[in-house]
Structure 1
Amino acid sequence: MNKELSKHLLSLSRKESNSRKRIRLLAVSFFYAGENRTNIAKRLNIARASVNKWVTNYLAEGIAGLDNKVIRGRPSRLSPKQQEQLSQYIKDSVASREGGRLTGEDITSYILSEFQVQYHPDHIYRLLKKLGFSWITSRSKHPKHSQEAQAAFKKFQLETILHTPGHLPLERIDVWFQDEARFGQQNPTTHIWAPTGSRPRVVKQQQFEYGYLFGAICPANGKTEALISPFVNKDAMMQHLRQISNATEAGRHAVVIIDGAGWHTYDTAAELKNVTLVKLPPYSPELNPIEQVWSWLRQHCLSNRVFAGYEEIVDEVSKAWNHFISVPERLKKMCNREWIKLT
């Protein structure tokens, strides 16, 4: 019997945050206080064998003997080499230009054919998580896109120097992303919360009225400019660029990144002394983060909706845009890209 040691262990148990280790400390504390192991087991509502084990571990290893043991689980049914091969197979599928996607069933079949190991479908997803894979939303790319052209475009500092007035230092240049999206009565349907097992129906209109949202964002300072038009043409584009020009502070210059749409011509900015247009490489919409803004607007505000006509489309698209830009940090986080930093 060692009352001082018992008090010390009791004090440690009161400070211990892990409930399992706290019980072990209490059991050993009671043991050194002079209680027999049967009474300790009854008092703590545990098995007497557990008390024996904990006392033995403490005598052999001290406090460390009462720590939680690492639960390693069953070893993987695939060897490290097989896991590496499976990971490469999945990565190759992601990078394939043929499109499509792997399902759990596809991966189960591959493992069986390559390694003669049968996995239950429920266990495949645990294996994928262990290998570092997640079920995540993909981003689109055009089948004809050129990785070399995109890599060259991302040397954006040189691209900017070549296109903007030579007397301007880079720290006085604001980079904007610009694009247009069509919103109207044939909006897509998206996921909704509904009772498990149900097949909910949502209204999808068949009419054909649309409005076009011209949007521009500057991730560095959080500024935005938008214009809603019943059509897309050079006149509407020039009006939108004038908005960007007016939003650019005196002494600064706006570099506006645009795609290759037919109304995106360099002459639309000819009259604007503080705006320069820079075109994306062909087939490279993924380089323009405003594409993610359109997805956000559709997903959060404009899908599964019914619009009476053009006027209501304008109202609701305006509300959706204002809702998005009401949180500047969201805009900056979603649209910022490392390669547009000029200084």
Structure 2
Amino acid sequence: MEIKKADDAKVVRRLCFISNLYTGDTIKGAATRVGASRGIGSQWLERWNQYGPVGLIPRFGGGRPPKHSHQQSRDLQRLLEEGQPWTTGEITRLIEDEFGVSYHPGHVRRLCRSVYGMSYAIPRPETPSRPENAEEILAKAFGEEEDEEAVDPGETVLGFFR
């Protein structure tokens, strides 16, 4: 029987709940002992009564399907690696433009970090001792022109910083 392989902590917790019921606990008392609510305990008891031990095995649907395919995910990672560093706003617009998928900027930050392995940093505010024409001085010193695309100090910068 599948239940003999009860090394899954969720199944063991549910079995302990059922065991507590057999020792005389109420549903609320048995559920409290295993750190569950009375409502969840009632669901477990109903599944126990209907299906037996197999009813205590979790049945998860796997969650919401992704908004883009694996190929699109690989394409996005390639684009992110080529054009880094990025701000969350830029990545959000890139995903919308390239793949027609809309994400909240907060989710984009989590997605980039967990799925694509990007690190992030919040740009430092300017120091009080910084001259007002710092970019101009720097451009003259290195013979470069000013960068007109400055990063908004409140926006998160993402990149593959290793």
Q: So what's the TM-score if we normalise by structure 1?
A: 0.28
Counterpart residue identity of residue 75, structure 1? P
1:78 to 59, 68, 72: 68
- Give the whole-Å Cα distance in 1 for the aligned partners of 2:8 and 2:62: 22
Within 5 Å, which residues of 2 pair with 1:208-219?
none
- Give the whole-Å Cα distance in 1 for the aligned partners of 2:24 and 2:58: 25
Counterpart residue identity of residue 133, structure 1? G
Mark the CA change 1:200 to 1:71 in structure 2 (over 3 Å): closer, same or farther.
Answer: farther
Please give the per-residue CA displacement for 1:40-88, whole angstroms capped at 9, x wherever unaligned. 23553432x53343235446363x6545565844322222222121111
Counterpart residue identity of residue 102, structure 1? W
Note if contact 2:92-2:105 (Cα within 8 Å) is conserved in structure 1: yes
2:79 to 83, 89, 112: 89
Q: Are 2:109 and 1:125 equivalent residues in the alignment?
A: yes
Please give the per-residue CA displacement for 1:276-324, whole angstroms capped at 9, x wherever unaligned. xxxxxxxxxxxxxxxxxxxxxxxxxxxxxxxxxxxxxxxxxxxxxxxxx
Mark the CA change 1:86 to 1:17 in structure 2 (over 3 Å): closer, same or farther.
Answer: closer
Report the secondary structure of 1:25's partner residue: helix
Report the secondary structure of 1:117's partner residue: coil
User: Which of the pair has the greater relative contact order for Cα pairs under 8 Å at 6+ separation?
Assistant: 2
Note if contact 1:21-1:66 (Cα within 8 Å) is conserved in structure 2: yes
Please give the per-residue CA displacement for 1:191-249, whole angstroms capped at 9, x wherever unaligned. 7xxxxxxx796879xxxxxxxxxxxxxxxxxxxxxxxxxxxxxxxxxxxxxxxxxxxxx
- Give the whole-Å Cα distance in 2 for the aligned partners of 1:72 and 1:108: 25
Within 5 Å, which residues of 2 pair with 1:162-173?
none
Mark the CA change 1:134 to 1:117 in structure 2 (over 3 Å): closer, same or farther.
Answer: same
Q: Are 2:119 and 1:135 equivalent residues in the alignment?
A: yes
Note if contact 2:15-2:56 (Cα within 8 Å) is conserved in structure 1: yes
2:94 is matched with: 110
How far 1:30 moved relative to its partner? 3.2
How far 1:26 moved relative to its partner? 2.9
Note if contact 1:112-1:118 (Cα within 8 Å) is conserved in structure 2: yes
- Give the whole-Å Cα distance in 1 for the aligned partners of 2:45 and 2:118: 44
**For this pair of structures, how many residues does the alignment match?**
118
- Give the whole-Å Cα distance in 2 for the aligned partners of 1:129 and 1:105: 15
Report the secondary structure of 1:125's partner residue: helix
Q: Are 2:31 and 1:44 equivalent residues in the alignment?
A: yes
Mark the CA change 1:78 to 1:130 in structure 2 (over 3 Å): closer, same or farther.
Answer: farther
Based on CA coordinates, which of the two structures has the bigger radius of gyration?
1
Mark the CA change 1:129 to 1:104 in structure 2 (over 3 Å): closer, same or farther.
Answer: same
- Give the whole-Å Cα distance in 2 for the aligned partners of 1:136 and 1:126: 10
Within 5 Å, which residues of 2 pair with 1:192-231?
none
Report the secondary structure of 2:18's partner residue: helix
Unaligned ranges ≥5, structure 2: 1-5, 131-162
1:54 to 40, 44, 53: 44
1:321 is matched with: none
- Give the whole-Å Cα distance in 2 for the aligned partners of 1:87 and 1:200: 31
Note if contact 1:77-1:117 (Cα within 8 Å) is conserved in structure 2: yes
Report the secondary structure of 1:124's partner residue: helix
- Give the whole-Å Cα distance in 2 for the aligned partners of 1:123 and 1:136: 14
What is the percent sequence identity of the aligned residues? 24
How far 1:34 moved relative to its partner? 6.0
More strand by share: 1
C-alpha root-mean-square deviation of aligned residues, in Å?
3.9
2:135 is matched with: none
Counterpart residue identity of residue 131, structure 1? V
- Give the whole-Å Cα distance in 1 for the aligned partners of 2:120 and 2:52: 46
